[in-house]
Structure 1
Amino acid sequence: MSFTFRPVDPLADALVLHSWVSQEYARFWGMVGSVEQDVVEEYSKIAASAHHRAFLGLDDGAPAFLMERYRPESSPLADVYDVQPGDVGMHLLVSPPSGDPRPGYTTAVMQSVMTELFADPATRRVVVEPDARNHKIHVLNQKVGFRPHGVVTLPAVDPAEDHKQALLSFCTREDFLATLTPILAAPATASRGEFQ
């Protein structure tokens, strides 16, 4: 596994992203009933945003996951918790499995995402707000150091629902590094440019 990140191209990546977000396993993404044009429109909005970015995660060059990072102070989260300097919001969707299961793969993806986010020295804490019913992501979040803060009510992601009950959780750089072996922790302490 060799993960890299590049910005999502709303037009060029719409087909692959739609093939992920429209499947039942991705129901908490809120786009199960979407068409490809919905994906183009959603990711064009994100590309034009000053506070939200989407990245395609590549595994040896092949699309493997979608990661979004955003500024909580410019999102609905600003209404439900006291945003701190250095907070960065994150969403993650791993592609559906193809072929034989690869034990530890999703954890490796999540570690790579967290390493990428903490590579920015301005990032002090990663914030997530997955649907409270999404138990698989809660387990994964805890593996990389997230600590639950509590359930909060946010605007609906799924058009069929009135609101979203989300498990707000935080992960500091220190909590993330504590989950890694020393070899894996080294790249996460490297510094790169700030989030623009």
Structure 2
Amino acid sequence: MSRLSTTTPVGALTLRPVDPLTDAVLLHGWLTHPKSAFWMMQDARLVDVERAYMELAADEHQQAHLGLHDGVPAFLTERYDPAHRELVGLYEPEPGDVGMHFLVAPTDRPVHGFTRAVITTVMTELFADPATRRVVVEPDVTNTAVHALNAAVGFVPEREIQKPEKKALLSFCTREQFAKAVSA
């Protein structure tokens, strides 16, 4: 992902690469928050988060970006190559498949429509790469809130899969499915 800035109904959303050292404290607070339980880092120490994002930054098959809302850090997104990370051996990847995770920062003052604007921005950025044909996600089967958001931007569940850390709902969204969902 490149540095993207879009204006949405909830304000300007911008993506920039995560800096593992300067962003670790912020990310630690988000990832260990009870509302971020599906990221399974509740017991992570600051050094664990720092190390995880340093490893991710050094990996040619993954990237992490910090999302800013009107210039203030507000979400995290990760892009990965499912042929090499996360889903190896769990499905047959196709050329142009891109894996994605996103996390909206916990807040005491939620903004209506914010999370949908975030996932729409992330998907727009992923499909801005002409090589991306399909986005792949594997949320926890019990994460019904994210299943609804995924459906709203065009994801279609394929099947449940067993990952080492969770039972996940493998879902796909093509460029055409995304365009149809966001134009509706």
Q: Which residue of 1 aligns with 2:162?
A: 153
Shift of 1:98: 3.6
Q: Which residue of 2 aligns with 1:175?
A: 177
Contact 1:76 1:155 (8 Å CA) reproduced: no
Report Cα offsets for 1:129-151 as digits up to 9, x if no partner. 01111111111100000000110
Amino acid of the residue matched to residue 131 of structure 2? Answer: A
Matching of residue 121 in structure 1 with residue 121 in structure 2: no
Matching of residue 70 in structure 1 with residue 83 in structure 2: no
Report Cα offsets for 1:135-191 as digits up to 9, x if no partner. 1111110000000011001121xxxxxxx1000000000000001238xxxxxxxxx
What does 1:107-118 align with in structure 2 at a 5 Å threshold? 107-118=116-127
What does 1:94-113 align with in structure 2 at a 5 Å threshold? 94-99=104-109, 101-113=110-122
What residue ranges of structure 2 are gaps of 5+ in the alignment?
1-10
Match of 1:32 among 37, 42, 65: 42
SS at match of 1:141: helix
Matching of residue 15 in structure 1 with residue 25 in structure 2: yes
Q: Which residue of 1 aligns with 2:57?
A: 47
**Considering only aligned residues, what root-mean-square deviation do their CA atoms show, in Å?**
1.1
Shift of 1:78: 2.4
Amino acid of the residue matched to residue 51 of structure 1? Answer: H
Q: Which residue of 1 aligns with 2:89?
A: 79
SS at match of 2:123: helix
- After superposing on structure 2, the runs of 4+ consecutive aligned residues of structure 1 that deviate more than 2 Å are none
Aligned length: 174
Amino acid of the residue matched to residue 181 of structure 1? Answer: S
Q: Which residue of 1 aligns with 2:99?
A: 89
Match of 1:166 among 160, 165, 168: 168
SS at match of 1:79: coil
The TM-score with structure 2 as length reference comes to 0.92
